[in-house]
Amino acid sequence: MKYLILTSIIIFSHPVQSQNAREIVQKADEKMRGSSMQVELTIKTIRPTWTRAMDVKAWMKGTDYSMILIQFSV
């Protein structure tokens, strides 16, 4: 009985903080993006008769500035 009362006090003493979907997505985006981000990747397309590669470089600062450089090579 003592444990039940103690558990009830602990559970109900902490306020419940609810978040809506927009807040959850915004916090996840802020954690992923950070204050700045730099990305380099290569996309290769391989077909039976031809192959192509595309290099992509991207720089981002917050949500206000971004630049993407796409270079194709055969």
| Residue range 59-70: mean pLDDT, rounded | 90
pTM: 0.51
Lowest mean pLDDT among 2-6, 48-52, 67-71: 2-6
Mind spelling out the 3-state secondary structure of 4-24? HHHHHHHHHHCCCCCCCHHHH
Query: Residues 38, 59: contact at Cβ < 8 Å?
Result: yes
- Helix boundaries (H) for 21-60: 21-33
Range picked from 1-5, 8-12, 23-27, 40-44 for highest mean pLDDT: 40-44
Question: Alpha-carbon dihedral of residues 31, 32, 35, 36, nearest 10 degrees?
Answer: 170
Examine the pLDDT at 25 and tell me if it is beyond 90. Answer: no
Query: Whole-angstrom Cα distance, residue 59 to residue 10?
Result: 47
Which pair of tokens denotes residue 36?
């700045």
